[in-house]
Every structure is written in structure tokens, then in C-alpha cells.
Structure 1
């Protein structure tokens, strides 16, 4: 039976996932026994469309790529105009792809979307950090209570499986410390400043390359990495933290001279998120750190992200990869969809 998807939000990431599902349709069916069917799409700007028997994915992509609204979708028996909650509650979708624009500080509207889905026993896959950082335990308990799956692989390092790795492959280890370069914008800027650019020049170049937003505050002040540190503590270490528990200092005050001094001493200055177990619980921080050249994080170039898990059995485990990008983030949703399908198949055996 096909997984029936409702896309709540249909921007670049949602469209990227749909392209992947269309391109990989045969491979997913042959290798995973997984078939998907998009039954609903609801987007505040692009409109909404629903058909219980499924929608033509390519037509959906063609409409939005040409700047048209979804109410121009052509088909028999189609319902138009459902808002996000109607698309969750009043359609036959069993899995919600939650990719709305969400306020990370409040987790809204994604948190309410997740809550509504879980109350009905519907699965959710999302790339929104807010619900996981703000309401992880509540939402996970609600999902578990109602037999729903909640996937949010893309919230920390996009399509690089920074969550799936420790939760699955590193099970049995006690992870004592997690450190990571979790923001590609700032790592790119610091790398370019080492090459001779000023802070202002590096920021402008990051914006020109699409790494930094017009308002780069969340990146350069360390807030983006702070929320990811909260997620890592909540999910991987099982210790609840809030954003205010994570001390945070960004890169806005770093001068090229500081980078030069670090290099002369055989070190590199990088913005590092650290989550560490202590006798008094977990201590977490985001701040510029001088890394020895022998530290694998020191060699992470440009906009790449990386994470280092310090484990009692396996020893240190290092993972690096893209921390952004539409295709990569779309792939993170696919990771979750595949995992949900494998869990369902296991239960049904």
C-alpha cells in the first residue's frame, strides 16, 4: 500500500523531495518496497489541492515552477483551497511532510501541525528545527502514544545523517561529548577570512553565494547552531535543554588578525557547538574555538558541516557533509520516509 503524503508547505525543500520521489520511484519500490502517493498539498502562498486517489506530481512541480497557483491544477474530483489543518485532519494522508516557514523560537506553526497529525496517528517528517528544539518531549510522547512516526533528520545537518547515525548505528555506546561545526555560513566566512577577506567581505561573498540570508543574524550570532545543540542534547543524549541553557557567542567580533594568530600557532578558529555530559548534567555552548590541527573539525572546509561523537566503545566517530542545499535537505526527508516504512514493515512481519 502506497504511503499517502500531504505536503504542508511547498517551497524549495518540499519540491526537492517530490522530485526525488519521482526520479527514484522505481529504485525505492525495488529496494525498499516503498511506493508513495501525493494526495494533498497546502501552501500559504501557492494554494492547496487534494485528491484522495493521488495527484500528478509532475503537474504540481510544473505549476509552481511556472509561477502558477495550485488551484490551476487540472483533474477530476479535485478539492481546492484546504488550509494546513484541513489538509492534515480532513484528508486521507497518512504521512505529513511538514516544511512550512516556521519561527524557530516558538516552533510555530510546525509544532501545531505536528500535534494535529499525531493526535490522529499520522506520521510526520519535517526539516523544521523549532518543534524539536521547543517541544521535543511533548511531541515525541504524543507520537508514541498514538503509534505515529516522527522524523526530523534534516534539522541538524540537512541530508548528512547526524541524528540517524547515533540513534541507530552507534547504539550501545555512551556518548560523552558531541562537538560540531553546525553552521555552514559561518564556517565559510571564517575560511574566507583566513584567505585574506575582512568580515564584511566574507559576509558579502557568503550572501552572493547563497549561503547567508539578507539578514544573517541567526547564522553569525550563533543562534542557528544553538538550536541544533539543543536538538542534539534532547534527542541524542536524552537530556532536555532549552535554547537559553546554551551559552552562545557568534563570530561578529572576530578579526582577521585572530585567525592569523591561530594559524601561526598551528590552530584554526572555528565556530563550534559543544554538548558535554558532566557530573551536573549536560553543559552546552556555541562559541569560537581554537582547534588544534589534529582535531578533525579543524580541516572542515567552506560551507561543509561536521560533527564528532566521543563514544566509550567505538571511540571518536567523525561525520561530515553538506549542511544545507535543497536536494540535500529533500534527501533528509527521504531518509525519514524510508525509516518509517522499514519500521512499518517490521511491525507487519
Structure 2
């Protein structure tokens, strides 16, 4: 339950998972605490962290963020955080959710995107306790979105997953708020920066293999790039967009998915000669009340606004009945950007809570 304090509302936060994204959000909360309080009447306090590799620490009075980040950076463990009479260590993730005074759970664990675990268990446990959740894990939103939203609503909790599609670029918040009132008939997006970077480099004459190696050297691609180059990452994002933006329950496994391995250097150069470009696109279309989604390379005209999106940038195009085509572009990855996506949801949850408290609908 949120607690009113002088100047606003206190929000106690627990992190489940504390890798790069979690630490980036903690740094943002440290830097933005005064701004959040002044502008939104929100006073955030980190009370707990539980990470399968870095251990756990809990202080109901609040953890010092600088000490917390320092213990991870210097010792690799949150359990190196200074002891005190109120500090408790050794809680697992479920205990941290159930037995601490956290109001908001930041779920940023390493999760199997196909099963959504362990993130789904963490979300369900939190909602059953009436605690809100924000996450950047695609698994829960792609695998079990509707039931999780229902469980959250039944227990008066908030479920935020803005960062699951385009990191800190608000691909879900925009259609829900700014484009409210439009019938969005189709969503088309470049939703994977790694593959877009590779295709851009291939236009410069590099082979697929050399472009991939360059992407890996820059940190855009993992050592095992399968999820990116085979389109699997985009397929889960397409499922989230179909479910949330177009309101149709679509399983990721049902979405036709083809990656970019089949796009050769000759194909890329031939397209350029034709005044076109190859892009890996997620396409989610609503027609006659049904929604169909595909993920595959497409050769698009240079006049298409998505053709101008190069490098590791992401973009998404909404086809609206009233506003017409609206395109949003921005970073689809990055620790600070992904941490910011969690902040978007935290602020939105706070504003929703304020509306309910004041009786505004």
C-alpha cells in the first residue's frame, strides 16, 4: 500500500534481478529522486534486491543506492552491502516479493522467453499480494499477457511492460494514450537493432558474416546471435503488439517467422539498384475483425518511412484511421534506455494510483 509522505507519496521498490538494467534504473532513481518528488509527488525508495547470482539484501527503512551500487561494482554482490540492525540478507526472489514491505516489484531477471519463467511466477506472486510489477522481460507479456493483466486488476495492482518492445521508446504507451480514439489497423516495425545494423552494413558492401562479426564487436549482437538473426526476438515483440495494441490474443508460436540469413549480398545490392531496401519487419494487421502477424525480411521502397531507419535504430509505424500513418523511432536497446522504460511504467502506475485515490476516472 502506498504511503503518503510530506510532498507526495512514498513508493517502496524491490528489484528481482539486478543486472545491468536493474542497476541502470537504480542510478536513474538516485539522480531523479528530487525531480520525481517535485514534478509528480513521488518519493521512491529501494527497500530490497534479490538476484540469483548477486544475492539479496532487504532493509524496510530503505537501502542507500550509492552503497548498493558500490557493493555490486566492487564486490559483485549485494550481500556486501553494509550491515545494520534493520538489514536482512539471504531472502530468495519469492520471499522478497511476499515478505518485504515493497509496493512495486521491478522484475528484471534472466527469463526463458518461450516459457516466460521465472518472471511469470514472480508476477503472479506479486499480484496475489496486491503488489504492482514493472518488467522488461518479453516472456510474461508474450506468453501470458491477458491473464496477468486480469490478475493484476483483480488485486488492485499495476502491470507495466513498456520496455518489452522498443526499450525506452514508448511503443506501447503511445498508441494507448496519445493515439487513443484511433482504430489502429496495422502496425509495422523494425524491432531488432542488431538485424537492422547488419542489413545496413551489407548495403556498404560487407558480407552477412562480416556484418554480424562487426555487430558482435560493438555489442549489438550476442555471441550466439540466433534470437536476433532468425527473427525470434521480433516474433515475441509482434505477439505483444498484437495482444496489447490490436487487442487480439496471438501466440508467438503461431506467427510466421523468417530471419535475415536468407538475405544475400546480391539481394541487398539488387534492391538498392531498384531504389529499394531490405528490412526485417514485424507486420501485425487487423482485417475483417481478425489479426494476422508475420515476421520476415521485406524489400520496401525508399519512399517508405521505414526505409530511412538505418543502423541499430528501431522504428514502428501505426496505421490509424483518424491520424493516418504515425511513426515512432528511437533506440531499441541500451541499459539506460531500458532502465528509463521501467521509469515510464513506475510514473504511470503512480499517476493511475493518484487518479483512483482522488476519485478521478
1:337 maps to: 346
1:41 maps to: 49
Shift of 1:55: 0.6
The SS at the match of 1:37 is strand
Shift of 1:116: 0.3
2:23 maps to: 15
Distance 1:202 1:250 in 2: 15
**1:165-314 equivalent positions in 2, closer than 5 A:** 165-279=174-288, 281-314=290-323
1:73 maps to: 81
Shift of 1:67: 2.9
Shift of 1:254: 1.2
1:160 maps to: 169
Is 2:61 the partner of 1:53?
Answer: yes
Q: In 2 relative to 1, CA 224–68 (structure 1 residues): closer, same or farther, beyond 3 Å?
A: closer
Distance 2:223 2:19 in 1: 18
- TM-score under structure 2 normalisation? 0.96
Distance 2:292 2:249 in 1: 11
Distance 1:197 1:5 in 2: 46
The SS at the match of 1:317 is strand
Shift of 1:117: 0.3
The SS at the match of 2:13 is strand
User: Which shows bigger deviation, 30-39 or 182-191?
Assistant: 30-39
Distance 1:305 1:103 in 2: 23
The SS at the match of 1:347 is helix
The SS at the match of 2:277 is strand
Deviations, residues 204-237 of structure 1 (Å, cap 9, x unaligned):
0000000000000000000000000000000111
Unpaired runs of 5+ residues, structure 2, are: 1-8
- TM-score under structure 1 normalisation? 0.99
Moved over 6 A (4+): none
Shift of 1:33: 1.1
The SS at the match of 2:70 is helix
Distance 1:69 1:200 in 2: 37
Distance 1:66 1:291 in 2: 49
Shift of 1:68: 3.4
Is 2:70 the partner of 1:62?
Answer: yes
Is 2:105 the partner of 1:99?
Answer: no
Distance 1:13 1:79 in 2: 24
Shift of 1:280: 6.0
Q: Matched residue pairs, number?
A: 349
Which of 125, 128, 131 is residue 119 of structure 1 equivalent to?
A: 128
Unpaired runs of 5+ residues, structure 1, are: none
The SS at the match of 1:147 is coil
Distance 1:284 1:86 in 2: 39
Distance 1:236 1:38 in 2: 32
Is 2:330 the partner of 1:321?
Answer: yes
The SS at the match of 1:35 is strand
Distance 1:102 1:252 in 2: 26
The SS at the match of 1:169 is coil
Distance 1:223 1:215 in 2: 13
Distance 1:235 1:209 in 2: 32
Distance 2:33 2:310 in 1: 34
Q: In 2 relative to 1, CA 8–259 (structure 1 residues): closer, same or farther, beyond 3 Å?
A: same
Superposed CA RMSD in Å reads 0.8
